[in-house]
Amino acid sequence: MTRLVIATRRSRLALWQAEHVKAQLAARGHAVELLAMTTRGDELQGSLVEAGGKGLFIKELETALADGRADLAVHSMKDMPAELPPGFVLAAILAREDPRDAFVSVRYSGFAGLPPGSIVGTSSLRRQAQVLERHPTLEVRPLRGNVDTRLAKLDRGEYAAVVLAHAGLKRLGLAARTRSLLSIEESMPAPGQAALGIECLSGRADVRALVAPLDDSASSTCVRAERAVNRSLGGDCTIPLGAFAELQATRLRLRALVASPDGRRIVRAEATGDSADPEGLGRGVADALRGQGADQILAALSK
């Protein structure tokens, strides 16, 4: 029996994810403990983009890996920066949940029913841009906090509706809160959305071997293609970029977009390629987006 320590954030969803991995490792005969931590991202009250991006959610976990307090860390793949720091590696990507975004509301069943001027909450520039592109008469306001906090704000009437990842609701037993699922065309997911990743030190060959059986090859292939789009555009996981890959036998279909936060300019690209080279496909789609002006859209964000 091997003893392993998993570093995780303290939020209810993060703990569910860590427990999910713990159960799979325990089923293989390993003794597993959780090291629950509060990260800077969890404590942040203001803009995540201005504070440095979603990497704030994982830095403390990586410190725990580096100093030996933990052997592995479990993350939502959509929160992982496109480039990991030197010395760290993604050892496994687990089977993906439903990657679609969810429309959540107390009174309304979908966007079509929202009156003009209705307030929609989201923490994501990607979601904001796609909502405003299709529904320019709505008002989109920032929505921070964990899933329970966001739902509480909705229930208090601060928002007419909110957009959340359906996978997170489902994992917390809150799937019934989803009033309607948004299609990939309506709201393209973030790269890696609904997939869980296991990170460890690149030099820990023992840990990499132990978690390798948890890797889902189909999900890994798709997520690697999506992350390659982001990496090629030099972005992080807070920029208004969506990417979604689907495995079709030995072929991989990849769609992606880059948007201005106000939804007035969105460029889209799509390609199909060999599933054996997901990163190459991702780079090609990124080049297609760049050819339509993606770099200019992203550059405007930093002004």
Better pLDDT: 39 or 40: 39
Q: Which CATH superfamily is domain 101-181 in?
A: Periplasmic binding protein-like II (3.40.190.10)
User: What tens digit of pLDDT does each residue of 133-169 get?
Assistant: 999 999 999 999 999 999 999 999 999 999 999 999 9
The closest alpha carbon to 48, from 157, 130, 145, 135, belongs to 145
Q: Where in the chain is the domain with CATH 3.30.160.40?
A: 231-301
| pLDDT score for 235 | 72
Under the banding of pLDDT at 50, 70 and 90, the label for residue 232 is: very high
Sign of CA dihedral 122, 192, 229, 64: positive
The answer, yes or no, to whether residue 51 has pLDDT greater than 50, is no
| pLDDT score for 54 | 54
Q: How far is CA 172 from the centre of its chain?
A: 16
Say yes or no: domain 3-94+195-215 is CATH 2.60.34.10. Answer: no
Instruction: Read off the pLDDT of each residue in 2-10 and give the average, rounded to a whole number.
Output: 95
CATH, range 231-301 = 3.30.160.40
Whether this prediction's pTM lies above 0.75 is answered by yes
Under the banding of pLDDT at 50, 70 and 90, the label for residue 237 is: confident
Under the banding of pLDDT at 50, 70 and 90, the label for residue 40 is: low
The answer, yes or no, to whether residue 47 has pLDDT greater than 50, is no
Better pLDDT: 234 or 182: 182
pLDDT > 90 in the chain, percent: 88
Instruction: Read off the pLDDT of each residue in 16-45 and give the average, rounded to a whole number.
Output: 87
Under the banding of pLDDT at 50, 70 and 90, the label for residue 42 is: low
Better pLDDT: 55 or 227: 227
Q: Which of 42, 67, 79, 277 is catalytic?
A: 79
| pLDDT score for 147 | 96
42 is catalytic: no
User: What tens digit of pLDDT does each residue of 52-91 get?
Assistant: 555 577 999 999 999 999 999 999 999 999 999 999 999 9
CA distance 239 to 270: 19
Q: Where in the chain is the domain with CATH 3.40.190.10?
A: 3-94+195-215, 101-181
The answer, yes or no, to whether residue 22 has pLDDT greater than 50, is yes
Better pLDDT: 46 or 36: 36
The answer, yes or no, to whether residue 174 has pLDDT greater than 90, is yes
User: What tens digit of pLDDT does each residue of 106-118 get?
Assistant: 999 999 999 999 9
| pLDDT score for 53 | 52
The answer, yes or no, to whether residue 45 has pLDDT greater than 70, is no
